[in-house]
Structure 1
Amino acid sequence: MASQVVRGRRILVVEDEYFIADELRLAFEKMGASVLGPVATAEAALELISSQQAIDGATLDVALRGGQSTAVAEMLFERGVPFVLLTGLDEDALPEPLRQVPCCQKPVNVQEVLSKLFMDDASH
């Protein structure tokens, strides 16, 4: 079912841990998604988002190299792009504006990420 929901989608991966980023990329591509990134910094993510006309969803590591990913989250909110946070932090430790976003704890489970990212589509 997950591959039917993901096939043909453009998914941005923002993650600074190489193995997690690569695991997500490989899993999404195997299901037929087009992966943007992975990128490891907020600056790279903002550049990539600005250069894309359409992004169907994103995974966003909360703590990236060089700081938090709050600016990336704000840009995704502005564009109406659904996203899931990936973190090793307690949800209570998240910055206030991010507490409303679906969250997956690291180490990540790709199926959980997809179900939270495209939960409205999966229920149809």
Structure 2
Amino acid sequence: MTYAGIKVLIVEDEGFIALMIEDVLQDLGCEIIASVARLPEACEIAAVVSVDLAVLDVNLAGQSSFPVAQILRDRGVPFIFSTGYGREGLPEEFMESPVLAKPFSAEALQGTVALALEAQR
């Protein structure tokens, strides 16, 4: 499956994981619009950038990415939570959001992206 032209925002504070996500998504044809590691920058970008999908690490250097998720939800942008805590680590309002369990494979990332984009259609 190819996702040519899909614009993605990556919010991930682990450099290696961010690079892996970027590589996999670019191999699928996605365009990485921004890759950020800190909550304030992520909120600023999420509020204004034109994206089709976001991949959000739940824990950004001790801060949760839920404010970013809320901004994206308000804008109608689908997102995926990337977390080692599982769905149990999500607040009630985000329980139905797609979750990518860390550690994950390229195939798991691709499958979760498909899920998030299909749910948006």
**Class of the TM-score when normalised by the shorter of the 2 chains:** 0.7 to 0.9
| Structure 2 equivalent of residue 18 of structure 1 | 15
Separation in 2 of the partners of 1:93 and 1:49?
A: 22
Q: Any residues of structure 2 matched to 1:1-124 within 5 Å, and which?
A: 1=1, 4=2, 6-52=3-49, 54-119=50-115, 121=118
Separation in 1 of the partners of 2:64 and 2:107?
A: 25
**Uncovered stretches (5+) of structure 1, i.e. residues with no partner:** none
Separation in 2 of the partners of 1:118 and 1:31?
A: 11
RMSD between superposed Cα atoms in Å: 1.8
Q: How many residues align?
A: 118
Separation in 2 of the partners of 1:16 and 1:64?
A: 6
* Conservation of the 8 A alpha-carbon contact between 2:9 and 2:32: yes
Report the Cα offset of residue 51 of structure 1: 2.9
Separation in 1 of the partners of 2:89 and 2:56?
A: 16
The superposition leaves residues 1-55 of structure 1 with CA deviations (integer Å, 9 ceiling, x where unpaired) of 2xx2x11110111101111100011121222211022111121111112231x21
Structure 1 residues 105 and 76: CA distance shift in structure 2, 3 A: same
Helix, strand or coil for the counterpart of 1:22?
helix
Separation in 2 of the partners of 1:36 and 1:108?
A: 22
**Uncovered stretches (5+) of structure 2, i.e. residues with no partner:** none
- Give the fraction of aligned pairs with identical amino acids, expressed as a percent: 33
Counterpart of 1:90 in structure 2: which amino acid? G
